[in-house]
């Protein structure tokens, strides 16, 4: 008998796993009995905080040196939160004032903070909600409110197992990876949650948003996890298990063979060159990009510069950061995306200056914030221009929705150039300026945007979210997140055609670009420049080299007029047949 479950797949280079289920139940228990000695509960809380801190520091020190830097950033963030007054001091106040035990006080304060984040409809804030939840869970383990299993999980024999749980903290995910876990299945979370980001970065196949997974799956039963399709099969049939184990061995062999492509060109069978670039979160990620054969950086996210400071970063801090990456890239091009923050990010030095928003996802963020707050933006703009004197730099503007925004920004850039000249500071006067296509309005106006800009880059994560009106982090609607929706394909096709018509470079830097299932489709639509997580580069390169792009283009030309009536799988099947 085979039982199937569905969720949201999160796949890096590894997409399939077969292993026994390891159920990790994390439901905490609390006593509501009033305490007679709050001082004792305060001491328990402090001891749990110290223990949680030691635990996280231990995880931090155990991270291998070649691990992507943003993984350690998750742990650093949680270490900082252990001293956050909104969490710790407020919990102490609850113990003193309401005479509740430390665990219940922590839970009550957690609920208050999470409610604040839940009321702000924004993808990033949902990840901050996860941070609060994960840090509280770490503390509850040492207060005794969570099962001992949670504390001991890293000592259990999870090697080759599929961990099934309601959620995972970043620290647990890192430790479980080090202990050889085969895959994760979680009840909560979506493709942009911290657990999903970690799963991709650590190359652990995962299926998330499987409601009641810890109730429906049994500890020790055999599971087949397909992170590409987001499905889980529970089966004890030997033939079925052997079938998937053969597939797994074949996939592992294929992954090892991809290393042979490092020195080979990214050119299709019919001789069409395709540019494959990397997305970077942090400067340290440039080494991973080069190890996987990236031709440069198509997207460098600069938000961490702002998030990790108690004040806005200075021009020199920006410049030092960009020059460090340029040096590491050894002459490869670097595309710097300007600040893509909004007031939703809970940055104190921003929130002190600007009023709160009712809907941050549609409010003052990205280019809108930069144009409204030039004091915040100009140091970055000047630093990007100055960095262009040291190497091939491109500037990319996020979340464009009007031509007026572009025109205003271009005037600001010209003014900044005049200032730099008058100060005797060097820059590349021809530094390319590009814009991200992330909202339907920008996609529909792509030709006008292309006439003003040097390049376009399609940000599919937001483009899909805004076009289909779904919150990617809400697992109750995440099933609607469909990159192959006809409306999405029409918008992408329109942008690529507009770029071709105006002879403007166009790339794609969203998750879709690094998903090998869609490579032939995008080649058929005319895309010739992809930017993705470094771990996906070789797999996409293999498909490029195995493709007849002329045949793919002809197939898509035939299919696009009736794309509304073609199912996603039929579309992919037709493209596979075309090569």
Both structure tokens of 220: 């020790």
Query: What's the CA gap between 16 and 29, in Å, rounded?
Result: 35
Question: Which of 55, 194, 318, 493 is the catalytic position?
Answer: 194
Question: Which of 55, 78, 370, 509 is the catalytic position?
Answer: 509
Helix axes 403-422, 374-387, angle to 10 degrees: 60
Does the active-site annotation cover 370?
A: no
Does the active-site annotation cover 509?
A: yes
226 and 210 in contact (C-beta within 8 Å)? no
* Among candidate residues 96, 128, 105, the one with its CA nearest the CA of residue 48: 105
CA dihedral in degrees (488, 493, 498, 500; nearest 10)?
Answer: 150
User: Residue 475's Cα: distance from chain center in Å?
Assistant: 16
Beta strands in 474-572 (DSSP E): 505-508, 529-532
Sign of the Cα torsion 47, 52, 58, 61 reads negative
DSSP labels, 285-301: HHHHHHHTT-SSEEEEE
Beta strands in 122-257 (DSSP E): 162-165, 183-186, 206-208, 222-226, 231-235
User: Residue 166's Cα: distance from chain center in Å?
Assistant: 20
130 and 194 in contact (C-beta within 8 Å)? yes
199 and 12 in contact (C-beta within 8 Å)? yes
Which residues are annotated as catalytic? 194, 509
């Amino acid at each position: 008998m085979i039982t199937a479950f569905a969720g949201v797949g999160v796949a890096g280079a590894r997409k399939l796993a077969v292993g026994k289920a390891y159920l990790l139940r994390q439901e905490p228990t609390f006593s509501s009995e009033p305490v007679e000695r709050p001082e004792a509960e305060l001491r328990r809380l402090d001891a749990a905080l110290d223990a949680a801190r030691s635990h996280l520091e231990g995880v931090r020190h155990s991270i291998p040196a070649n691990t992507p830097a943003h993984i350690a950033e998750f742990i650093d963030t949680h270490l900082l939160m252990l001293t956050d007054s909104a969490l710790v001091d407020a919990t102490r106040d609850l113990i003193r004032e309401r005479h509740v035990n430390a665990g219940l006080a922590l839970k009550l304060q957690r609920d208050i903070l999470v409610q604040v984040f839940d009321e702000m409809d924004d993808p990033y804030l949902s990840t901050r909600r996860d941070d609060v939840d994960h840090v509280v869970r770490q503390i509850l383990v040492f207060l005794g409110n969570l099962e001992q299993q949670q504390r001991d999980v890293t000592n259990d024999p999870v090697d080759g197992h599929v961990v099934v749980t309601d959620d995972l903290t970043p620290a647990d995910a890192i430790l479980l990876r080090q202990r050889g876990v085969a895959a994760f299945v979680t009840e909560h979370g979506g493709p942009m949650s911290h657990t999903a980001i970690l799963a991709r970065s650590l190359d652990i196949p995962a299926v998330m948003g499987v409601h009641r997974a810890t109730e429906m799956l049994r500890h020790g039963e055999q599971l087949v996890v397909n992170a590409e399709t987001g499905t889980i099969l529970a089966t004890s049939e030997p033939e079925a298990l052997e079938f998937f184990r053969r597939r797994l061995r074949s996939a592992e062999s294929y992954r090892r063979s991809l290393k042979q492509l490092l020195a080979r060109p990214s050119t299709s069978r019919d001789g069409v060159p395709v540019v494959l670039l990397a997305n970077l979160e942090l400067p340290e990620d440039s080494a991973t990009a080069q190890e996987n054969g990236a031709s440069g950086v198509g997207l460098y996210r600069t938000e961490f510069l702002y998030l990790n400071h108690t004040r806005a970063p200075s021009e020199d801090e920006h410049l030092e950061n960009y020059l460090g990456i340029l040096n590491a890239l050894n002459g490869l091009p670097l595309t710097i995306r300007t600040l893509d923050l909004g007031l939703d990010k809970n940055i104190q030095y921003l929130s002190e200056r600007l009023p709160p928003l009712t809907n941050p996802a549609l409010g003052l963020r990205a280019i809108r914030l930069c144009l409204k707050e030039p004091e915040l933006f100009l140091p970055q703009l000047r630093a990007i221009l100055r960095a262009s004197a040291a190497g091939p730099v491109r500037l990319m503007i996020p979340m464009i929705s009007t031509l007026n925004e572009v025109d205003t920004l271009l005037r600001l850039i010209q003014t900044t150039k005049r200032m730099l000249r008058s100060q005797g500071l060097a820059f590349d006067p021809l530094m390319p300026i590009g814009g991200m296509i992330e909202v339907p309005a920008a996609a529909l106006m792509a030709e006008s945007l292309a006439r003003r800009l040097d390049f376009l880059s399609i940000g599919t994560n937001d483009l899909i979210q805004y076009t289909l009106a779904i919150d990617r982090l809400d697992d109750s609607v995440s099933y609607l997140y469909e990159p192959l929706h006809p409306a999405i394909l029409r918008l992408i096709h329109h942008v690529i055609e507009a770029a071709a018509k105006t002879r403007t470079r166009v790339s794609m830097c969203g998750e879709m670009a690094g998903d090998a299932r869609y490579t032939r489709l995008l080649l058929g639509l005319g895309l010739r420049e992809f930017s993705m997580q470094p771990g996906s580069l070789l797999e996409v390169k293999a498909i490029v080299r195995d493709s007849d792009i002329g045949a793919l283009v002809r197939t898509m030309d035939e299919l696009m007029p009736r794309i509304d009536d073609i199912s996603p799988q039929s579309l992919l099947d037709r493209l596979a047949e075309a090569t």
